[in-house]
Structure 1
Amino acid sequence: MNTTTKFAGFALGLAAVFGIALGVGAAVGPEPSEPAAHDSHAAGSATAGGSATDPAGGLLATVAGYTLSLDNATTTAADAQLRFRILDADGAPVTRYVRSHDKDLHLIVVRRDMAAFQHVHPVLDETGTWRASLNLSRAGDYRVYADFTPEGGEALTLGADLRVAGQYDAQPLPASATTATVGEYTVTLDGRITPGQSSKITLSVSRSGRPVTDLQPYLGAYGHLVALRASDLAYLHVHPEGEPGDGVTPAGPGITFSVTAPTPGDYQLFLDFQHEGVVRTAEFTAQAVPGAAAPQSGHSGEQPGHGH
């Protein structure tokens, strides 16, 4: 999908009116099995499937005849490999996909309190089973999102629950703020969001007080944004305007996104960006309030238990 398409599963349009706030950030390294490159998925409108006609993705395990089936929906921290299949309407595993932004399938795994987030790219075997290595060291209930396009079908985002046994250290949603820190990096949000309207926000990256102007492509873009509605974990996959190498889009410090938030409420945003060969994730708590003024800068810090 190109950068002009809206979220891959939930049109998340950032309008000039929508109080967005940023929270905490965490530094993460690129996935060990793949070279650094950034994913630019497109998003749909606002329904449970996360397609161009169904924007609120990840709310259902079955959409348009396709089902996300986890081999084991209950596991422990010791078993860090997730195995799953995408089944068609006949119950057969799907083995052919349309590659989007360098990958056939993007897997997002987030704990339900938003305290642990991972974006990984699993490996598909000849039987149609996907395998992904995860960091499940923090016990709790997780939501698993599969973002993909089956051959001959439309883009979908399916969701299923994963329970990790152990002591659950539930965390409150971070307070909203306009900045997030990731180690020595600071990400600042410029823009407002108004529910039900499409608009733009810019996330600017600086390092030790200096603008970063040499961001590196990660899965085909300078930034990758995932948004989850706090009330029900509806999934919004947003992507930036422009693309690396188009002769127009600068490599930072600002990354501009077009988004559409369907309803008022709290959203958690996860921005992936790459610099000097390392993929980092900045986390923001965004508050969507009709006609709200832009929030004031607030405290932000690194948050453990978050990785790619």
Structure 2
Amino acid sequence: MKKWILSAFIYLGIVIIGYYIYDSVFLEETKVDTHAEEHKTENTTEHNNHATTENEHSESEHEHGANTETESEVNVTIEEVSDKLVLNLKDLTGKPVTNLEVNHEKLLHLIVVDEHLDQYYHLHPEETTPGQFEVKNELEEGIYKAFVDIKPNNLVYQVQPISFKVGNPVEDEHHHDSLTVDQLLEKTVEDNKVTLSTTPLVINEPVTLTFDVHGANLETYLGALGHVVILDEEAQQYLHVHPLEGDTPVFETQFTNPGIYKIWAEFQINGEVKIFPFVVEIK
């Protein structure tokens, strides 16, 4: 009987020691593996989120004004005052908007077109007081639309057309004539020829715009090899596109609505900015 009891205690001791060894070695390894897997998952998630943010940032660098669904938190006005165009930027509470990012070497890009989309201006007003910008008015009397391209910090901003007048023009009661689509995408400005070729001009698909400058030496202009501004026929939809990476004038954009659009391509050649207009149809 005593031998049986002794054997039982010895067996119980062996079981306890064995469980202790298993808990110390095998379970600890499992915990380490589990922790490593969780850490890996966290890193993967952080990496994917970072990659998404970088992609969004990269896209925004190449194109402005594409999203028309976001409500702007910045109100912009423009008016003719004496011999100047005066712009005021205010937030929704009426306070001046002053915290702007430098965007292609400027705080503010002002795109102005006339009502027929014949005249095109790319101006750079200077800040005179907080939230107020001014530029010399060299526009002829007429009716215009302005597009103020800025990057406010911590505020949502969407470029919208702003109608304004210079002088006292007689308003045309009739709708302006439709734009005529170019059959040949080739323009010559002061002996500088530029030819445009595109991928299929369809909505909701990336469209690549490739400009052949026929050997001209393009110079960096406002931090880029060129700038492309696109408006629809009614001057309601605005796109400001910068070239893709590289040393060739290749741009990529996307259209959400079919219709006729006018493209202004800006290139600096021999110290002067040349503007090449093209009219295309998006289907």
Tell me the TM-score normalized by structure 2: 0.71
- Give the partner amino acid of 1:149: K
**Separation (CA, whole Å) in 2 of partners of 1:103 and 1:69:** 19
Matched residue, 2:165: 163
Per-residue CA distance 1:5-41 (angstroms, 9 max, x = gap)? 44x6xxxxxxxxxxxxxxxxxxxxxxxxxxxxxxx76
For the pair 1:195 / 2:198, whether they are aligned, the reply is no
Of 195, 200, 213, the residue aligned with 1:205 is: 213
Q: Which has the higher helix share?
A: 2
Q: CA deviation at 1:80?
A: 4.2
- Give the partner amino acid of 1:158: Q
**Separation (CA, whole Å) in 1 of partners of 2:55 and 2:62:** 7
Matches within 5 A, 1:1-308: 5-6=58-59, 42-43=63-64, 45-47=66-68, 54=70, 63-72=71-80, 79-137=82-140, 139-154=141-156, 156-164=158-166, 165-166=168-169, 173-176=179-182, 177-192=184-199, 193-206=201-214, 211-212=215-216, 214-242=217-245, 249-250=246-247, 254-289=248-283
- Give the partner amino acid of 1:280: K
Q: CA deviation at 1:43?
A: 2.3
Matched residue, 1:298: none
Q: CA deviation at 1:174?
A: 4.1
**Separation (CA, whole Å) in 1 of partners of 2:145 and 2:273:** 22
SS of the residue 1:158 aligns to:
coil
The structure-2 alpha-carbon separation of the partners of 1:259 and 1:286, relative to structure 1 and needing over 3 Å to count, comes to same
**Separation (CA, whole Å) in 2 of partners of 1:199 and 1:265:** 15
The structure-2 alpha-carbon separation of the partners of 1:172 and 1:229, relative to structure 1 and needing over 3 Å to count, comes to closer
8 A contact 2:265–2:276 mirrored in 1: yes
Per-residue CA distance 1:242-274 (angstroms, 9 max, x = gap)? 1xxxxxx22xxx411111011111001111100
8 A contact 2:203–2:282 mirrored in 1: yes
8 A contact 1:224–1:271 mirrored in 2: yes
Tell me the TM-score normalized by structure 1: 0.66
Query: Greater RCO between the two (CA within 8 Å, min separation 6)?
Result: 1
State the number of aligned residues: 224
Identity of aligned residues (%): 27
Q: CA deviation at 1:167?
A: 6.1
8 A contact 1:5–1:42 mirrored in 2: no
RMSD: 2.7
For structure 1, which segment, 149-158 or 166-175, has the greater mean C-alpha deviation from structure 2 after superposition? 166-175
Matched residue, 2:50: none
8 A contact 2:74–2:157 mirrored in 1: no
| Ranges in structure 1 where 5+ consecutive residues have no aligned partner | 9-39, 49-53, 55-62, 243-248, 290-308
SS of the residue 2:75 aligns to:
strand
Q: CA deviation at 1:181?
A: 1.6
**Separation (CA, whole Å) in 2 of partners of 1:2 and 1:203:** 25
Q: CA deviation at 1:153?
A: 2.6
Q: CA deviation at 1:160?
A: 1.2
- Give the partner amino acid of 1:264: P
SS of the residue 2:159 aligns to:
strand
Q: Please tell me whether Structure 1 or Structure 2 has the larger radius of gyration of its CA atoms.
A: 2
Q: CA deviation at 1:232?
A: 4.5
- Give the partner amino acid of 1:145: F
SS of the residue 1:125 aligns to:
strand
For structure 1, which segment, 63-72 or 182-191, has the greater mean C-alpha deviation from structure 2 after superposition? 63-72
8 A contact 1:80–1:136 mirrored in 2: no
**Separation (CA, whole Å) in 2 of partners of 1:2 and 1:102:** 22
**Separation (CA, whole Å) in 2 of partners of 1:168 and 1:65:** 31
Per-residue CA distance 1:142-180 (angstroms, 9 max, x = gap)? 111111111223453233111232367966524413111
8 A contact 1:109–1:117 mirrored in 2: yes
